[in-house]
Amino acid sequence: MVGSGPGEAYDGRMTRIVAVQGALPPNWYPQGEITRMVGSACRLPRGDREVLERVHASSGVTGRHLVLPIDEYAGLDGFGARNDAFVHGALDLGRDAIQGALDQAGLHARDVDLVVSTSVTGIAAPSLEARLAASLGLRPDVKRVPVFGLGCVAGAAGLARLHDYLTGHPEETALLLSVELCSLTLQRADASMQNLVAGALFGDGAAAALAVGSRRDGVPPDGPEIVATRSHLFPGTEELLGWTIGDTGFHIMLGSDLPDLVRGQLGPVVHGFLADHEIKAGDVTAWVCHPGGPKVLDAVRDAVDLPARALELTWRSLAEVGNLSSASVLHILRDTLALRPPPPGTPGLLLAMGPGFCVELVLLRW
């Protein structure tokens, strides 16, 4: 039964997601053009450029949006200039995503009681939502939780934390904002395979999701309910994914054995979570999965024994916009709702993975 596990009785009190909105920069480029930019930025000799071209061609990405025009990246000198570009671009995209979500739900900024904001591609203090508060019309007493360090998992984890809050404040409204400008983290003069793979996969974008508690009145009764969540850390995997910080900013840590870890250890976590709610993988009508990359997506499919088309919208998002880090899973949730809404009352599972190494699971009911 969706919504009840061992010893639990479903009482009908669930968080409901009432709007999901994505935002992308206007600068879109085909993968081949980005490949040439990365090769030039990383100062690769001819032999290494052939490796780069193979990596980019096998990424599953056909094009991406960049926060800056592509010819401006060569002029970014040092972490300070990169971070200034992050703050400027993040505020524009974040504003668009939040306002779009509010309009979609028929709500105003003053209706929001809590904002969780997340990014792992830049630093802002005051945080992004604080800088946006006045122009958007957020109340002075809005509660704010800026999050850094969760990486790609933060879209799913952010929804889970909204659910935690709204379970205790069922009359309220909560907002999640994700802004990731991954292109600004590309390291020049770095020919490491990790940097080349990151340059092949990651794009720029933002997303916002609005959720309401079970006793929040005045919102149309549309959107999936969050039934339950689960977080899981895999011990001894801290070096597999994340950043090291240097004078030029964020340097990617990306372990080559990450797909093997996912293939070997993700399945029991997912199946155990579903089983606690008396659900089998075959009962799930929509899999909303973060697009970690082709090898990771193949590993997810193998680990959970998914049908071939279960991750089709995830593959589509990867192809069209690349991996948007924490914003990607929210874009895919939006696409699921818009393009392939599952049958009402059926279960869905939203999942993402990130530094730690960790996975976050969000059980939905459509």
- From 42, 152, 289, 358, active-site residue: 152
Q: Map tokens 């081949």 to a residue.
A: 32
**42 is annotated as an active-site residue:** no
The per-residue pLDDT of the chain, averaged, comes to 91
Q: Give the 3-state secondary structure of residue 230.
A: strand
Condensed to tens digits (0 to 9), the pLDDT of residues 72-92 reads 988 888 899 999 999 999 999
- Enumerate domains of the chain plus CATH numbers: 18-212 (3.40.47.10), 221-365 (3.40.47.10)
Does residue 208 have a pLDDT over 70? yes
Q: Among 6-10, 14-18, 193-197, 259-263, where is mean pLDDT lowest?
A: 6-10
Cβ within 8 Å of residue 283, ≥6 positions away: 274, 346, 347
* pLDDT band per the 50, 70, 90 thresholds, residue 13: low
**What is the rounded CA–CA span in Å between residue 79 and residue 82?**
5
Contact between 211 and 162 (Cβ < 8 Å): yes
Can you tell me the mean pLDDT for 47-69?
89
Contact between 217 and 359 (Cβ < 8 Å): no
Amino acid in the structure at residue 102: L
**What is the rounded CA–CA span in Å between residue 302 and residue 314?**
15
Q: What is the per-residue burial (b if ≥16 Cβ within 10 Å, else e) of 197-217?
A: bbbbbbbbbbbbbbbbbeebe
Structure confidence at residue 215 (pLDDT): 85
Structure confidence at residue 194 (pLDDT): 85
**What is the rounded CA–CA span in Å between residue 74 and residue 38?**
10
User: What is the widest separation between alpha-carbon atoms in the chain?
Assistant: 64
Can you tell me the mean pLDDT for 237-245?
86
Pairing of strands 286-289, 347-354: parallel
Q: Map tokens 């840590």 to a residue.
A: 253
Does residue 218 have a pLDDT over 80? no
- The DSSP code for 187 is P
Q: Map tokens 């409204």 to a residue.
A: 173
Q: Among 190-199, 221-230, 310-319, where is mean pLDDT lowest?
A: 190-199
Can you tell me the mean pLDDT for 113-127?
96
